[in-house]
Amino acid sequence: MAETPSSNDIVREENLVYIKTKVLTDNVMHYCPGCGHGTTHRLVAEVIEELGIQSDTIGVAPVGCSVLMYNYMDIDMQEAAHGRAPALATAIKRLLPEKYVFTYQGDGDLAAIGTAETIHACNRGEHFTIIFINNGIYGMTGGQMAPTTLPNMKTSTSPYGRDVKMMGNPLKMTELVATLPGTCFVTRQAVHSPANVRKAKKAIKKAFEYQNLKQGISFVEIVSNCPSGWKMTPLQSNEWMVENMFPFYPLGDIKTPEVKPEVQVEQKEGDVLHDSLNQIDTDSKQVKY
Ligand SMILES: Cc1ncc(C[n+]2csc(CCOP(=O)(O)OP(=O)(O)O)c2C)c(N)n1
Ligand code: SF4
Ligand SMILES: [Mg+2]
């Protein structure tokens, strides 16, 4: 009878299919099982590693479930007061324009308390990236209704469902910022399936690369789940998200930049970042407003 292989037979370099990026620390993330925050952190970290910008990137963490993001990313990060991340990122990018600067914000942070900061930073055309995690709820504080909560969606403060007559309509921040002249790349992605994870990573990478164009904010919404706040298993929450969130928040690019020859980055030999920037597909249709 053949011997059962031991773990030493299997755990070998040639059998490796995945290595955790060194831009993520070894700290165990506190997120609930199945939550999209963890996957999105990984994608941001992988993009930073692939672009070779670990020591040139400064992130701004929000208030919300991802408040401790700086514990998980091995890069310089700053914590902002609730909703104020775009204001802080503005200061950082203006003082250190050679750095890659991003904010990472939930929907309560970005679309409720930080609406003004978000809209004004996008309208001014600051040159940083916003990663926006839209799970339609205030996850951290117990699942209260957010501006992004869907019509009829039950939350702890709308237990009979969001009645739009009384509670107002959900706010589509991503479509809204796309109308502003200060945004250059606006896209909506998700991370619930391998195919979507790949697309989301590509979008995050482009968003970082577009900072070099100096044409304004690059804005990536990730439609995400909150299994705990939605009171579902991770699997149920992903199915619910596909059935209910995606029709209201459709995935795809909303605005892509026109790459003008005069702002194209000068190519340096062996420069991975600039190589990939100049390969960016600029044929995608630009939405005009
Ligand atoms: C000025 C202020 N108001 C309210 C709070 C309470 N608070 C902390 S996190 C949060 C909601 C976060 O929701 P979201 O941004 O959607 O992040 P999620 O937890 O869903 O990822 C609120 C209201 C606070 N910390 N500061
Ligand atoms: S409460 Fe929701 S958003 Fe927060 S970690 Fe848990 S699943 Fe994620
Ligand atoms: Mg939220």
Digit-coded pLDDT (tens) for 4-15: 878 788 888 888
Query: CA nearest 78: which of 97, 59, 64?
Result: 59
Phi-psi region of 211 (alpha: psi -120 to 50; beta: other; left: phi over 0): alpha
pLDDT exceeds 80 at position 64: yes
143-148: list long-range contacts, CB under 8 Å, 24+ apart: 143/226, 143/228, 143/229, 143/230, 143/231, 144/108, 146/107, 146/108, 146/111, 146/112, 147/107, 147/111, 147/112, 147/115, 147/171, 147/173, 148/107, 148/111, 148/173
Side chain identity, residue 278? N
pLDDT exceeds 80 at position 264: no
- Per domain, the residue ranges of the chain are 19-279
Q: Sorting pLDDT into bands at 50, 70 and 90, what band is 281?
A: very low
Side chain identity, residue 51? L
Which pair of structure tokens corresponds to residue 230? 């939605």
Q: pTM for the whole thing?
A: 0.90
Query: CA nearest 79: which of 61, 64, 57?
Result: 61
Mean pLDDT of the chain: 91
CATH superfamily of the domain spanning 19-279: Thiamin diphosphate (ThDP)-binding fold, Pyr/PP domains (3.40.50.970)
Structure letter (DSSP) for residue 63? S
At 131-156, the pLDDT tens digits run: 999 999 999 999 999 999 999 999 99
Given ligand 2 and candidates 135, 192, 233, 238, which is best to mutate, with the most ligand atoms within 8 Å of its CB?
Answer: 135
Side chain identity, residue 116? A
Q: Is 39 in the pocket of ligand 2 (CB under 6 A)?
A: no
Ligand number with the minimum distance to the CA of 30: 2
Which pair of structure tokens corresponds to residue 72? 């998980």
The atom of ligand 1 lying closest to the CA of 37 is: 21
Q: Is 134 in the pocket of ligand 2 (CB under 6 A)?
A: no
Q: Is 133 in the pocket of ligand 2 (CB under 6 A)?
A: no
Helices (H) and strands (E) in the chain, counts: 13, 9
- With contact defined as beta carbons under 8 Å apart, do 89 and 79 qualify? no
**Helix 36-51 × helix 194-210 angle, to 10°:** 50
Query: CA nearest 85: which of 126, 44, 51, 56?
Result: 126
Q: Sorting pLDDT into bands at 50, 70 and 90, what band is 1?
A: low
Q: Sorting pLDDT into bands at 50, 70 and 90, what band is 289?
A: very low
pLDDT of residue 18: 86
At residue 90, the 3 state secondary structure works out as helix
Burial 70-85 (b: 16+ CB within 10 A, else e): bebbbbbbbbbebbbb
Give the closest residue (by CA) to ligand 2 atom 5. Answer: 31
Side chain identity, residue 250? P
